[in-house]
Structure 1
Amino acid sequence: MSFGSMSELADKLKSIRAILFDKDGTLIDFERTWFAFSYAMAEKAADGDEAKARHLMDIGGYDWEAKRFRGNSVIAAGTVEEMVALWHPYADMAAQAAIVAHYNQASLEAGPRSAVAVDGLYETLEALHAQGFILGICTNDSEAGALKTAQLLGIDHFFAGFIGYDTAARPKPFADPLIYFAEEHGLELSQLAMVGDNSHDMEAAHAAQAGLSIGVLSGNAGADILEPLADIVLPSVADIPALFA
């Protein structure tokens, strides 16, 4: 999405008081953090059948030829509930709920421990915090998973809030998580920037009429997906302090 003028971009930047970050692919390296865990879950869902496990990974969004997750795929951008519905379509509601609880617990135990931060993450958050921005995490992982990941990476003190798919009424791409954060911190939505690596993040920003949507190329989606949706696209979050400066 292009601006009519540089002054329009400057006006948007000046209005921002808070920045919400997606987690996976934005703050942490998605491939290095989640492949092993996702495949272990797929193997369990497939009862040890390797061919079936590879198929589950494929429909979940892993490109075996490219050796990376596809942008906007269920594993890359969806919720645990969406992944369970995809991998266990014949389970009844009670069984799916039990599987969701199991996946959430497994994710909470394994995901944060294997989290790999994107380059320059600590310095980026330190700079933005020093610039006076209110920072938050808005993810389609669980709220507990977001908090634990931040704690284990030593960055939790930078954030004023953690929003998971289970925090607000509906997860991204709905507006609810952004509205929730704005209300919690007494902000206008026009004062809020959303940063993410998938279309879900940009769509949530537009649905909430947030002040700014920033796409980053550190995750699963490329510029071809992000540029039509984002106000601006940057290589990674490490470029954000300079943008606001």
Structure 2
Amino acid sequence: MAGIKGILFDKDGTLVDFQATWFAIGDLMALEAAGGDRAKADALMERAGYDYETHGFKSDSVFAAGTNADIVALWYPQADAEQKRGMIAHFDSFTAEQGALQAVPLPGSKAAIASLHASGFRLGVATNDSTSGAEKTLVSLGMAQMFDAAYGYDAVANPKPAADTVHAFCDLTRLKPAEIAMVGDNRHDLEMARAGACGLAIGVLSGTGTRQSLARIADVVLDSIADLPAYLAERG
């Protein structure tokens, strides 16, 4: 623990309130994919992981943990490769703008990031959103100046749960993987931490993941990143 010098954060569900930010955006995407058919759009949302009984996205579902490429593959199975590339670019642009405009920060997230930044930790974002979306959201939240970099699924050859983002962050900061902590609300985040040999894999319960789904792979599960500065200080 004393060797942790850098922290990678997932974005949605870790820095940003996933449900409050993304349901309306996802619903508009589904309506477009359904050609305006309300019932078909609801079915597409369910396929992507939205539970209309609990009014929330399921843990590790396509919408909770996947990329826009995954959503396009799920919702447009008959499209050819060129059509899919066009839809991915369209959704990347749409979600980057709307995600930033509608981003709802999780309680205590900005104060926690400010505290960690002031303590000298190198900070980065690792998300399966687009890089543009991540960067725009950090700006809208007033956090951009505290992060060294934001990596979307399109910034690396292989997105989460592959280790590419860990390696990219290490190249940038000159830190070793064992000096990096990865923080996230889904198993994809923690699986990336393990694949990249991170020194610490931290699960948070502020998103779609549950204690049961995260505890089996995390070193520790916290309620949210608001608890992270104190945890690192106590264990450091």
> Quick check: TM above 0.5?
yes
In the alignment, the residues of structure 2 paired with residue 164 and residue 35 of structure 1 have an alpha-carbon distance, to the nearest angstrom, of: 20
Match of 1:242 in 2: 230
In the alignment, the residues of structure 1 paired with residue 38 and residue 184 of structure 2 have an alpha-carbon distance, to the nearest angstrom, of: 33
Cα offset, 1:67, TM superposition: 0.5
Cα offset, 1:108, TM superposition: 1.4
Match of 1:157 in 2: 145
Q: Does 1:206 align with 2:194?
A: yes
1:70 pairs, out of 35, 38, 58, with 58
Cα offset, 1:185, TM superposition: 1.0
Equivalence map 1:1-245=2 (5 Å): 13-245=1-233
Cα offset, 1:241, TM superposition: 0.3
Report how many aligned residue pairs link the two structures: 233
Structure 1: which amino acid aligns with 2:128? N
Cα offset, 1:172, TM superposition: 0.2
Cα offset, 1:131, TM superposition: 1.2
| Secondary structure, counterpart of 1:170 in structure 2 | coil
Cα offset, 1:194, TM superposition: 0.2
2:97 touches 2:136 (CA, 8 Å); kept in 1?
A: no
Structure 1: which amino acid aligns with 2:38? E
Deviations 1:49-104 (A, max 9, x none): 11100000000000010100001000110011000000000000000000001101
User: Where has structure 1 moved over 6 Å in runs of 4 or more?
Assistant: none
Deviations 1:24-57 (A, max 9, x none): 0000000000000100110010011111000000
In the alignment, the residues of structure 1 paired with residue 192 and residue 109 of structure 2 have an alpha-carbon distance, to the nearest angstrom, of: 23
In the alignment, the residues of structure 1 paired with residue 46 and residue 196 of structure 2 have an alpha-carbon distance, to the nearest angstrom, of: 32
Structure 1: which amino acid aligns with 2:179? Q
**TM-score when normalising by structure 2:** 0.98
Structure 2: which amino acid aligns with 1:176? D
Structure 2: which amino acid aligns with 1:229? I
In the alignment, the residues of structure 1 paired with residue 113 and residue 16 of structure 2 have an alpha-carbon distance, to the nearest angstrom, of: 13
| Secondary structure, counterpart of 2:125 in structure 1 | strand
Structure 2: which amino acid aligns with 1:160? D
Cα offset, 1:109, TM superposition: 1.5
Task: Give structure 1 stretches of 5+ with no counterpart.
Answer: 1-12
2:50 touches 2:57 (CA, 8 Å); kept in 1?
A: yes
Structure 2: which amino acid aligns with 1:59? R
**TM-score when normalising by structure 1:** 0.94
Work out the percentage of aligned pairs sharing the same amino acid: 48
Structure 2: which amino acid aligns with 1:242? A
| Secondary structure, counterpart of 2:153 in structure 1 | coil
2:126 touches 2:151 (CA, 8 Å); kept in 1?
A: yes
| Secondary structure, counterpart of 1:166 in structure 2 | helix
In the alignment, the residues of structure 2 paired with residue 103 and residue 130 of structure 1 have an alpha-carbon distance, to the nearest angstrom, of: 35
